Structure 1
């Protein structure tokens, strides 16, 4: 069946009416153009996510594109299956526990305040001036890179996820080359003893071992790339899309302003409602039947998180509505199973801190032009979002 699930422009627009129709009529649907299965239902996405033996990440995780080889970065955590995946993940798990992430809150709040301190009430570019600085600076901090380099991080990150976007000027492979060269130098400083007392994540990884063997430079570079892209693009997208959703639902925005204690549940609902990561893809390792459809070994299945997070069978008759008081809220915005998002707690904290600081300073935020999304199938981030800010009047 012909459907738009292969199209970057589809994800950069409003995919939800199509998702709703496909959930009702063809929840396990075949895309003729790119040759893959789309999974629209919550339980099907969970089934694939929690069965890595049946559905592998090692042959690609992005929507297939017949015009280019499916990009696979050998050795990267996100492209590995058990047991290697568990070994690699264990190395950095300790740095992303709820307790460890909570320690970062003062620094995060300082970053957020610094970004907002430079803004005057009036017209600003939200995506560039508000949503981007916090997650990018935090990842630079975690990896032990100077704050001054965060703009380069953003450029590399955009080029990596935006290979389908004609407005992204830097070629993806050129960006990867620059990124690897940069982090190669940071790794070398740690390996040769120039930096011996670093407590950043990169220093920890350089000293780490898997089964008695230290990680290679190639392994470390893949970690850096994953953390940069996953930790930057997704959180930036959550902050921008979440704010856009609140602007478009003024009743919910007003409720949040009147009840700042709801920010925690609001972040969860914004994750569900906006699904910053649109999808992930797996490759079937053997013939599997889902809802009467035979998925053959070697075929790709794409888990559509944006659809699963609005599945009426799970979220009820208000599945398409934004409700910042929703409870329970078992969304799949961070995935589940083996490849659930390692930085989920950090993303939650970044979003909570940013919204707390933003709502304290500005009593009104309104769009002054169209929000422009990146042409990308996996993370169609917000590239432009002009807004007008009105300062809070203090008594």
Structure 2
């Protein structure tokens, strides 16, 4: 079944895709896009099925919506582009730095960064929220985790933007040039940590061993790239879009002001409602049938998380509504199955602390201009979002 909905277009994801998702879920939940040739899945259970069957749906040939103007940026051997059993081995090693205990130890550093971001904000002032508030926390946190100099976080952001915003005309740095600069930087950092370990994640990973196996320099380079791009853009988008949801739903914002203990639950709802990562793709390893549609071996399957996270069969009649008290909330904003996001707990921590401080200091938030999104199919990040921030009375 074909669709005229432009599911291949960055402009579609930078706009409001949800009405189209709702229509497709009801009419053609497994639909073919013949512009760049892929199957799109819109239902929650179908996406869980694909995610939990890596033997049928492989990650090795690419994970993004096909774009004839851009070759699929596959990094062979990188965690996000591997299937079992290699994927499990890599993930086991990298997990040593992302246990719940390890992430909990980072809260003082997250708070320090967040307090610094809000330090000189005057009540009633209009701030460029995306640039000044949403962007610095994840980028600085990643620099901190990897043991990079705090002064380098702006370079990290530049590299990250270039790698995710390949379709955005405002981004001048070429993606391949950015990857080259990034790898050169991290090669030196890895060599330093191999020789002289410190108290940072790169040192932990450089010396981690599971069943006698260690990560190679190439593995570490691939991981540093993944952490920078995936951990930066997605959390930045969560913070910006989560704030926008609070502005657009003042009654929900008031619930969090009255009861800050609800903030962790609200972060889960922000993840569901905004779906910072729009999709992941897989390639069928054999002929597979989903809802009566035959997907042939080698064809691309795109899992639309934003649609799945508003599937009425899972989230009920109020699936399109933003509800900070929603419980249960089995969203798949972090993916699911083999490739569920390894940094999910860190993203949750960053968002929780950010919104505790934001709402504690500036409960009155008002959008005073247009929200400008990056042209990108996977993470159409917020580039500009002017917000007036006022303290309570």
Into which bin does the TM-score normalised by the smaller protein fall? over 0.9
Aligned to 2:290: 290
Determine the C-alpha separation between the residues in 1 that align with 2:234 and 2:382. 10
Aligned to 1:326: 326
Aligned to 2:25: 23
**TM-score between the two structures when normalised by the length of structure 1:** 0.97
Q: How far is the alpha carbon of 1:80 from its aligned partner?
A: 0.3
Q: Structure 1 residue 51 and structure 2 residue 53: aligned? A: yes
Specify the SS of the correspondent of 2:126.
strand
Determine the C-alpha separation between the residues in 2 that align with 1:304 and 1:94. 30
Aligned to 1:202: 202
Q: How far is the alpha carbon of 1:390 from its aligned partner?
A: 0.8
Aligned to 1:70: 72
- Give yes or no for contact 1:144–1:201 (8 Å, CA) kept in 2: yes
Q: Deviations over 1:182-211 (max 9, x none)?
A: 1111112123x2x23x12111122223465
Determine the C-alpha separation between the residues in 1 that align with 2:303 and 2:374. 20
Specify the SS of the correspondent of 2:294.
strand
Q: Deviations over 1:278-327 (max 9, x none)?
A: 00000000000000000000000000000000000000100000010000
Alpha carbons of 1:100 and 1:215: their partners in 2 closer, same or farther (altered >3 Å)?
Answer: closer
* Structure 2, gaps ≥5 residues long: none
Q: How far is the alpha carbon of 1:346 from its aligned partner?
A: 0.7
Determine the C-alpha separation between the residues in 1 that align with 2:178 and 2:369. 30
Aligned to 2:141: 138
Determine the C-alpha separation between the residues in 1 that align with 2:315 and 2:103. 29
Determine the C-alpha separation between the residues in 2 that align with 1:343 and 1:353. 16
Alignment of 1:18-167 (within 5 A): 18-121=20-123, 122-167=125-170
Alignment of 1:365-384 (within 5 A): 365-384=365-384
Aligned to 1:261: 261
Q: How far is the alpha carbon of 1:176 from its aligned partner?
A: 0.5
Alpha carbons of 1:34 and 1:20: their partners in 2 closer, same or farther (altered >3 Å)?
Answer: same
Aligned to 1:8: 10
Aligned to 1:185: 188
Q: Deviations over 1:316-350 (max 9, x none)?
A: 10000001000000000011100000011111110
Determine the C-alpha separation between the residues in 1 that align with 2:62 and 2:371. 30
Q: Deviations over 1:33-62 (max 9, x none)?
A: 010000000000000000000000000000
Alignment of 1:212-291 (within 5 A): 212-291=212-291
- Count the aligned residue pairs: 390
Q: Deviations over 1:75-122 (max 9, x none)?
A: 110000000000001112122122221111111111100111032220
Deviation beyond 6 Å, 4+ runs, structure 1: none
Q: Deviations over 1:204-244 (max 9, x none)?
A: 22223465454332221100000111111111110000000
- Give yes or no for contact 2:96–2:208 (8 Å, CA) kept in 1: no
- Give yes or no for contact 1:61–1:281 (8 Å, CA) kept in 2: yes
- Give yes or no for contact 1:246–1:253 (8 Å, CA) kept in 2: yes
- Give yes or no for contact 1:57–1:79 (8 Å, CA) kept in 2: yes
Alpha carbons of 1:84 and 1:210: their partners in 2 closer, same or farther (altered >3 Å)?
Answer: farther
- Give yes or no for contact 1:88–1:210 (8 Å, CA) kept in 2: no
Specify the SS of the correspondent of 2:316.
helix
Specify the SS of the correspondent of 1:318.
coil
- Give yes or no for contact 1:278–1:379 (8 Å, CA) kept in 2: yes
Q: Deviations over 1:117-153 (max 9, x none)?
A: 0322201110111111111111111100011111111
Determine the C-alpha separation between the residues in 2 that align with 1:363 and 1:290. 46
Specify the SS of the correspondent of 1:320.
coil
When structure 1 is superposed on structure 2, of 199-208 and 356-365 the one drifting more is 199-208
* Structure 1, gaps ≥5 residues long: none
- Give yes or no for contact 2:97–2:205 (8 Å, CA) kept in 1: no
- Give yes or no for contact 2:46–2:290 (8 Å, CA) kept in 1: yes
- Give yes or no for contact 2:361–2:392 (8 Å, CA) kept in 1: yes
RMSD of the alignment, in Å? 1.1
When structure 1 is superposed on structure 2, of 255-264 and 6-15 the one drifting more is 255-264
Alpha carbons of 1:387 and 1:83: their partners in 2 closer, same or farther (altered >3 Å)?
Answer: same
